[in-house]
Structure 1
């Protein structure tokens, strides 16, 4: 089971890091990010891929603490992805209100 979730979790972690870096750089430089065009769709895709793994049929019966820990970890990553997506939308509102420049 660990191997089945390893790659999607690494992809999710990389996407979270990349998104936070992009948002931070955009704010620092007062430059608009590609939030609706690139960032949000990428986060949604990663979250969708994780949700395919987090089905009872894929996880199987959670009979031991190791299985429960992995399931909890997956749900936490999905929650983090959702919160980062919300943050991206808030940054987009900030960009509009502060009239950040485009490219």
Structure 2
């Protein structure tokens, strides 16, 4: 039984691994949730990555905007402020986004 006042060290180290890999994604490059999970050592945990990114504190300096879905699109609803912010940040890094909101993974994806 774990003490509720102490953080789960496995969860902390998993989050640290994820955030360390995320921080290393270069500007102008995107990764999918699944790729980020695999790079952090958690293959097939794309949904977990999404949950962890949702928990980032406001103002986090981690490049959350470089994570997109496997279809090459933002996972935010197109009418949301987060969608507009993500595309704005990516464009500022030189990422080309089609009028339909798609990003060419072949061109901007992590190789």
Larger radius of gyration: 1
Output the TM-score relative to the length of structure 2.
0.36
Higher helix share: 1
> Which of structures 1 and 2 has the larger relative contact order (alpha carbons within 8 angstroms, sep 6+)?
1
Output the TM-score relative to the length of structure 1.
0.38
